[in-house]
Structure 1
Amino acid sequence: MMDVIVIGAGPAGLAGAIASASFGLKVTVIDEFVKPGGRLIGQLHQEPTGEWWNGIKESERLLQEAKKLSVDIRCGVSVYNLEKDDDLWNVHTNIGTLTAPYVLVATGAAEYPIPLPGWTLPGVMSIGAAQVMTNVHRVEVGKKGIIIGANILAFAILNELQLAGIHVDRIVLPEKSPLSGKAGEPEEVMKSLLNAAHLAPSPLLRMGSRFMKNDSFRKIGMKFFPKNGVKVNGTPLLLRKAAIEIIGTEQVEGVRVADTDENGNIIPGSEKIYEADFVCIAGGLYPLAELAAVSGCPFQYIPELGGHVPIHSELMETPLEGLFVAGNITGIESGKIAMAQGTTAGYTIAKHAGKGGAAINKQLQEAVQNVRSVREQAAIQFNPEINSGRRKMSELWESLYSKNTRENSQIKIG
């Protein structure tokens, strides 16, 4: 019988498996995709230091390290239920039921869909799908595209598409509606983008962004936002234009857009069609936490973390004995932070399994501190108030579960 089952072979899951296995625990990792790596295998970007972050190489490094520790990695395995039976967790999959005393759920994140007329046409895809098709499968998604939705994820993948020689003609917002939420409100989009303005290509844009963080200046800026937009790596970002329909007969042929006022309301008579043969919808990310919910783990809605997240400690414990979480299921952040959280979870599991002796407490403290350090150094934050969200979760854990945790682990995180 295995000691640990890790659900999800992304950065958090692989790092957690490596950390657990390094203490001699027998670990099995399962993932529904055909290869390990999760969202890492689609990532390719340049860091502020000038170094390149190659997700495929990083996932390969993690995979080889896991194999050296005899971690059993099984791909193409889907999990449909997770339940506790006495001291063991039963993980129900399409290949049968796997059991272990410890389970790490590292299921990552999913993309918010933004439905609009024509979105079922061939050639329409999520921005994440375009990333995977381009960077993993080496498939050209099209010759001329339009991105609907402006957020940090969209800009990161825009750059990757450009590196692959794929032309993205422009970025527009979705039409303002209950389904598009803040993604259709120009000022809210502007506020979120200002948190990455330090990465802007020109000093003028970086200087202007500081003024735009003031509410009054931002409202003025939105009122007089250029009709032709501002360029992001050469692609026009049009915050005052909204997509109202994707058009085409048998495949995407273009996008019908309309001008909007500074509040995102459509200006009648301003419609125009932009030609395109592919469309990427960028609605942002949310924690993929359904499996933790099925297990009975309690949740909390924390918008700063991306939505509903399982209640957890900085040691990546949940209130359910033997169940741990790591990565984007706990809040939307980068792959580096997911790996740091996975390592923390793996050490915590080893501690609960009685491995490592007294020395493991110091390793855990260093692992938790590393998560904080990586977060502080992150060039881009998907949710600008992530630190506030993490504090809310920490306070919630302290108020509800900390006494029990201290009695069991005797680990002080300072």
Structure 2
Amino acid sequence: MNDVIVIGAGPAGLSAAITCARQGLQVLLIDEYMKPGGRLLGQLYEEPDGTWWNGIKESARLHQQAIDLGVHVQLNTPVHNLERDEDQWTIYTEQRIYSTNHLLLATGAAESPVPVPGWTLPGVMSVGAAQVMTNVHRVKPGNRGVIVGINALSAVIASELKLAKIDVAALTLPKLNQLTTDAAQPKKVMNNLLHVAHMAPSALLRTGSKLMKSDLMKQLGINFYPKSGFKMWGIPIQLRKSVVEIYGDKQVEGVKLAAVRPDGEIIPGTEESISCDFVCIAGGLYPLTELAAVAGCPFYLIDELGGYVPLHNNQMETALDGLYVAGNITGIESAKIAIDQGTVAGLTIAANHGVNGLEEATEQAIHSVEQTRDGVPFQFDPDVRRGKQIMKEKWEEYQVNKTKTPVD
């Protein structure tokens, strides 16, 4: 039996494994991918202070720390079931069965698909797939692409594609329907995009974004948004156009765009075509929570955190004894926050395992999560703090209800 098992070798899982190992615990780290690092592997961007965040280097650094501390890293190992018997968790993989009293789920996030007519053509992919191809495998997804979906994730990945000398013809909206809703409405998309405008190389855009604070200014900005769009990193940001079709014979050859009203409705007769050889669909991210559901965790739908999130406290404990969560499974945020959450989870696990004197270090680690949240270049949802407050209230409510004595 292992002292600790961590499922997910992304930034949160690696950080937690390192923290546990430093406290003398025997740690098994499991991941289904062939390399450790998770979504951290694909990240490469310039920060506001001019330094570069290189996900491959950060992954290698964390992995080496884990190995040096004696963490057993088991890659290419999907987990397909969890069971709890008294105080023990049993983890089922294709290779073998593992057991532990302390199990951390750091399973990360997955991309939300956005259906677009023609999206089954070869050359259509998620924006995350294009990021991995470019930054991890050093393979261009194509020579000229269009990104469907304007959000913090797609804007940053578009800048990364430009660094690889890939022509990004436009970032544009998906067509408004029951599934796209907010993602197809220019005003709501602008509000999201303003949170990454400070990363744009244009001083004009950075200054202009600071002026777009009030609803009135945002509405004026949408009403008078230029038909050709503004450019970030030399890429047209088309807030008043949406993709109505991806076309091609045997592969992607282009997209059809149409102008939209401020509410996202298509303006008839405004269709035009843009040639390209690949299309990225950016529907955003959601917490990857299947294993937490199998374990029997209670969940809450918190839109500010990306979707359904397992109930947990700020020490990364869930409502189930011996089960912990960290990283994007707790809400969509940056890799830096995931690393800090992994540290909190590792210290909590070590304390629950019987290691003494960790109270102050745990409090400092929880405070570090808040500081990192304040300092990250962008948030996937600008209201993430509200989401965290909702989770805190849900946890407190759960604790109160758990201690109530049934009335005879």
TM range (shorter): over 0.9
Rounded Cα–Cα distance in structure 2 between residues aligned with 1:294 and 1:208: 47
Aligned to 1:411: none
Kindly provide the amino acid, as one letter, of the partner of residue 389 in structure 2.
R
Aligned to 2:406: none
Rounded Cα–Cα distance in structure 1 between residues aligned with 2:197 and 2:43: 21
1:243 aligns to what SS in structure 2? strand
Deviations 1:99-126 (A, max 9, x none): 1111000000111100111101111000
Rounded Cα–Cα distance in structure 2 between residues aligned with 1:352 and 1:128: 36
Rounded Cα–Cα distance in structure 2 between residues aligned with 1:218 and 1:347: 44
Deviation at 1:37, TM superposition (A): 0.6
The 5-angstrom pairing of residues 214-225 of structure 1 reads 214-225=214-225
Aligned to 1:160: 160
Rounded Cα–Cα distance in structure 2 between residues aligned with 1:402 and 1:304: 24
Kindly provide the amino acid, as one letter, of the partner of residue 373 in structure 1.
Q
Deviation at 1:223, TM superposition (A): 1.4
Deviations 1:268-315 (A, max 9, x none): 111111100000001111111111011100011111111110011100
Rounded Cα–Cα distance in structure 1 between residues aligned with 2:197 and 2:323: 38
Aligned to 2:137: 137
| Aligned mate of 1:365, from 363, 366, 369 | 363
Deviation at 1:202, TM superposition (A): 3.5
1:270 aligns to what SS in structure 2? coil
Deviations 1:217-273 (A, max 9, x none): 211221111000000110101111110111011110000111111111111111111
| Aligned mate of 1:376, from 374, 377, 398 | 374
Rounded Cα–Cα distance in structure 1 between residues aligned with 2:290 and 2:268: 41
Q: How many residues align?
A: 403
Rounded Cα–Cα distance in structure 1 between residues aligned with 2:42 and 2:80: 25
Deviations 1:380-413 (A, max 9, x none): 11110011111111122123227989xxxxxxxx
Aligned to 1:120: 120
> TM-score, structure 1 length as denominator?
0.95
Aligned to 2:271: 271
- Contact 1:3 1:26 (C-alpha < 8 Å) held by counterparts: yes
| Aligned mate of 1:394, from 392, 395, 404 | 392
Rounded Cα–Cα distance in structure 2 between residues aligned with 1:233 and 1:99: 49
Aligned to 1:24: 24
Rounded Cα–Cα distance in structure 1 between residues aligned with 2:120 and 2:5: 37
Percent identity of the aligned residues?
Answer: 54
1:401 aligns to what SS in structure 2? helix
Comparing 107-116 and 177-186, the one that deviates more: 177-186
Aligned to 1:317: 317
- Contact 1:134 1:141 (C-alpha < 8 Å) held by counterparts: yes
Deviations 1:303-347 (A, max 9, x none): 111111001110000010000000000011100000000010000
Q: List alignment gaps of at least 5 residues for structure 1.
A: 406-414
Kindly provide the amino acid, as one letter, of the partner of residue 359 in structure 2.
N
CA gap 1:135/1:301 in 2 versus in 1, 3 angstroms: same
The 5-angstrom pairing of residues 70-149 of structure 1 reads 70-149=70-149
Comparing 106-115 and 192-201, the one that deviates more: 192-201
Aligned to 2:282: 282
> TM-score, structure 2 length as denominator?
0.96
Aligned to 2:5: 5
The 5-angstrom pairing of residues 347-362 of structure 1 reads 347-355=347-355, 357=356, 359-362=357-360
Rounded Cα–Cα distance in structure 2 between residues aligned with 1:214 and 1:326: 35
Output the aligned Cα RMSD.
1.4
1:218 aligns to what SS in structure 2? helix
Aligned to 1:345: 345
The 5-angstrom pairing of residues 240-259 of structure 1 reads 240-259=240-259
Deviations 1:4-26 (A, max 9, x none): 11010000000000111111111
Aligned to 1:409: none
Rounded Cα–Cα distance in structure 2 between residues aligned with 1:71 and 1:324: 18
Kindly provide the amino acid, as one letter, of the partner of residue 392 in structure 1.
I
Aligned to 1:65: 65
The 5-angstrom pairing of residues 170-209 of structure 1 reads 170-209=170-209
- Contact 1:194 1:213 (C-alpha < 8 Å) held by counterparts: no
Deviation at 1:200, TM superposition (A): 3.6
